[in-house]
Amino acid sequence: MSRPLPLSNLRVLDVSQVMAGPFSCMLLADMGADVIKVEPPKVGDQTRRAMGFRLQGDDSAGFLALNRNKRSVELDLKNEAGLRAFYELVKTADVLVENYRPGVAKRLGIDYETLKEIHPRLIYASISGFGQTGPWAMRPGFDLIAQAMSGILSVTGQAGAAPAKNSVPVGDLGAGLFTAYAVLSAVIGRGDDGPGQYIDVSLFEAALGLSIWEVAEYWGTGKVPQPLGSANRMSAPYQAFMASDRHFVFGAANQKLWALLCEVLDRPDLLADPRFATNAERMRHRDELESALSTTLRTRKADAWIAALLEAGVPAGPILTYQEALASEQAAARDMILDMEHPVEGKIPQLGFPVKLRGTPQQLRRPPPLLGEHTEEIMREIGCDIGKLGQQGAFGR
């Protein structure tokens, strides 16, 4: 007999839009939580219409990527009847995640102080650009702004070049990951009969919190970190190099690997060079090291170097496009592309689960919901008169 998913006893209200909140709630949903996406009538999460590419229906590929395993209910939180219905829904929930700008939830009457009076065990997570306190709290927050103001943008790209944003939205996704981590910590801390609590997450702090090496370099040396291209702040050589045909990467991050690298390259002179004797010296002479290695690496094709380095035990690999990465045998072996049936789109691809639970494997239980698809179902579950609520404008007019 199969065991239930680990979070199947949790109900989560996803009162968020775009990326950080929906991503966090999807992580919880993938682990079995009953995630109810509370959306404004007729428009829904702005990602449905405004973000990314469309396939067949109205919802964008961006929305489809962030909202599987959820149900959707339309509620007008600016309408008295809609707000009453929302309060009834809150009474049944364990967790609420929202990402309004600070102050908006209070104006709507759905802030933590209001809702904890209705449901003292509620765990309430707010995601914002800069957190609920501090001089920047009221600034609007996007991933780009978080990358810029956390320092990430200052160290990304090549030295002397124009600022280069990290294409993967580390502020947004990092905030989503930290929110899921905080929510589960609060659930455990709440126990069987304890109170809930408020969780304050920001894109700025998520981006800064992920800047481990950069902050360590600054505190350790007193020097402001600068862009290094593909290089690593704590090890050398550990970056992309050009072979005779294309770039590839390898990492000789300790003395053993450095010695093996010199052996593969047939460069005993590098091993004997005092400029490269230790990792600290190699980092100090990074430009000279790169130049010395490049003269040899450009003599063979990337695949040949990769094969030789891997055989010797030196980590190395090609630089793949997303098309190549998704089509790789490793992605296939790890089930990183899953097909899901959608009522409008038909069969759509989904990224697989990035962690695997062998005892309670995750499932694609629900496709990303259509706007308001489960409104009637959910209202009936919590004992609301859907006809009366509809007449009063709870679901929009």
Output the pLDDT for position 149.
97
- Tally of CB atoms within 10 A around 264: 19
Per CATH, domain 247-318 is 3.30.1540.10: yes
Instruction: Name which of 115, 44, 59, 93 is nearest 378 in CA terms.
Output: 93
Query: By percentage, how much of the chain surpasses pLDDT 90?
Result: 95
Sign of CA dihedral 326, 349, 338, 42: positive
- Would you name the residues annotated as active-site residues? 172
Among residues 110, 106, 50, which one has the least CA distance to residue 75? 110
Asked if pLDDT for residue 214 goes beyond 80, the answer is: yes
In this structure, CATH architecture of domain 11-210+335-391: 3-Layer(aba) Sandwich (3.40)
For the chain, the average pLDDT equals: 95
State the pTM of this model: 0.94
CA distance linking residue 5 with residue 26, whole number of Å: 14
- pLDDT-derived band at 53 (thresholds 50, 70, 90) equals confident
Task: Using the predicted structure, report yes or no on whether residue 51 has a pLDDT greater than 80.
Answer: no
What does the pLDDT read at residue 58? 85
User: Rounded CA gap, 92 and 89, in Å?
Assistant: 5
Q: What's the pLDDT band for 57 if we cut at 50, 70, 90?
A: confident
DSSP letter assigned to residue 54: B
CA angle 257, 261, 266 (to 5 degrees): 150
Rounded-to-integer distance, Cα 61 and Cα 52, Å: 6
Mean per-residue pLDDT for 115-127? 98
The H or E element spanning position 205 is helix 203-209
Buried b (16+ CB within 10 A) or exposed e, 43-70: ebbebbeebeeeeeeebbbbbbbbbbbb
The pLDDT of residue 1: 54
For range 351-355, the mean pLDDT: 96
| Sole residue written with tokens 């690593």 | 232
> Which range (93-97, 229-233, 330-334) has the least confidence?
229-233
In tens, the pLDDT along 281-302 reads 999 999 999 999 999 999 999 9
pLDDT, residue 50, reads 81
Q: Which residues pair with 346 in a beta bridge?
A: 342
Domains of the chain, residue spans: 11-210+335-391, 247-318
Give the pLDDT mean for 83-108: 97
Q: Distance between CA atoms of 284 and 315, rounded to whole angstroms?
A: 22
What gap in Å lies between CA 92 and CA 114, rounded to an integer? 15
